[in-house]
Each structure stands twice: as structure tokens, then as C-alpha cells.
A and B are shown apart, each in its own frame.
Chain A
Amino acid sequence: MARNLHNQLSRTPHAFKLSSKLFEFSLNNMFTFIVERASDSNIDDKMKTGFNNIENCLNVYFDQLDVSFVDDSKLTIYGSATLENGAIIRATNSYHKRSWFSDVSVRMNFEELLEYPTDQGICYGQVINQFC
């Protein structure tokens, strides 16, 4: 009985939880925010590349959902997130004093693939991962 209770407690779901907040800004102020961060040497180039692509990627993402987003929408940048399987992904300039940008595999099914935006005629799909 005690063991059952323990198992239930230890399975507390925390999937898709985002943690360690890094930045927060309104889309109104996005350009100011990005320009200010561009010269900040504490910010890794990978994150700067991310900032430079926010606008394009947001447009594509919300086009797909057929949602119009307004300029006072709020964007919060986090340093880490927990996946469904409990693994923690990171996109941060300083994790134990080192930058850490996780490599991940992405689920894609064929129907989604056809709707997926591509560039330069390149398209992506599922690799059969024998090793996971």
C-alpha cells in the first residue's frame, strides 16, 4: 500500500513545464529587444540567431494555425523545458557556466509534413530511429 502510494507520488506529471525564465517582452518591443541583445557578449551566437529568426518563424507558425497574432502579444524566453519522457532540453547561455543548446529529434507525420513550410526545396521527414 505504501509502495503504491509512493509510485503515484513519484509519477507527478510535469511534462512540458518551462523553467528558468530569461527574458520577457511584448512583440511591440521585439526589434528594440533584439537590437539591444545583439551587442551583448553574454548572449551566445546561437541564441542571437534565434532572436533574428523570431519574426519570420512566428509568422509561419501562426499562418499554419490560421491565427492572427497582435503586436501586444507577450513572448517569454525560458532556459529549459521538460519533455514528456522527463528529459530536460536547454537553450541557455549559462548552464554551469557553459552555453547549452540541446539537439533533439522531432516527431513528424506525413500529413503534417505536406503542410510544413520548407525553404530551398528541402523537406524533412521521419528517420526510422533504430537506436532509441
Chain B
Amino acid sequence: MHHSITFNNYFSNFTKVLLIARIHIEDQGITSNLALIQWYDFKSQSHPYLYGCSRLKLINIYNFIDIEAIQDIEHIIPRFNLDNEYFVNKFIF
């Protein structure tokens, strides 16, 4: 499952939470609070921002992360008339 890493110029740390889960591994005494997340990536590497906002798309990459790794809630809104294109609304805070 591990793949080689290359770096894009612009990194997205925006995600959508699909599941909130607690896993309990009895014999090891481990309990983890996790979120199964789907990643957003920039819609375009050459034009990552529009109107001063990140322009994103949802991609088919999923991960479990610790709930503690979540920084904050974001307001991500679909762009009108376009499929799989989103803006991060940075004007509401």
C-alpha cells in the first residue's frame, strides 16, 4: 500500500470526514479515536487559487487519522455548475 512520494508545488491539508470511529484492540489494550477522511487536492497546480481562495477537488484517496490530528472545521463549498470543484470559504471567520 505504500507508494513512492513526489511533491507537488501546492499541498492541500483539506479533507472530508466520512466516518468517526473508535477501534478497540482488546489484547493490546489499545483504543484509538479515528476519523476516516477523504482528501481534497488542488484542482489545478498551475492555478491553485481563484478569488483568493483555494480551488479544490475531492480525490479517491482515503486515510484513517487520529481525531487529534484534525486542526479545525473548514467551510468548503461547491463551485456552481461544475463537477467536483470546491472553494475554501475563508471569508466567514
Interface residues in chain B, defined as those with a beta carbon under 8 Å from any beta carbon in chain A: 1-8, 10-28, 30, 33-41, 54, 59, 61-65, 67-76, 90-91, 93
Contacts and interface: CB of A to CB of B under 8 A. Distances in A.
A82 to B, nearest CB: 9
Interface residues of A, number: 60
Contact of A16 (B6, B54, B67): B67
A75 B31 CA distance: 10
Given A54-B36, A78-B21, A124-B11, A67 B30 contact: yes
16 contacts: A18-B33, A57-B64, A59-B1, A73-B23, A74-B23, A76-B24, A78-B21, A81-B33, A91-B17, A105-B71, A106-B15, A117-B3, A117-B63, A122-B8, A126-B11, A127-B10
B30 to A, nearest CB: 7
Most interface-central of A69, A80, A84 (chain B CB within 10 A): A69
A47 interface: yes
Contacts of A60: 1-2, 63-64
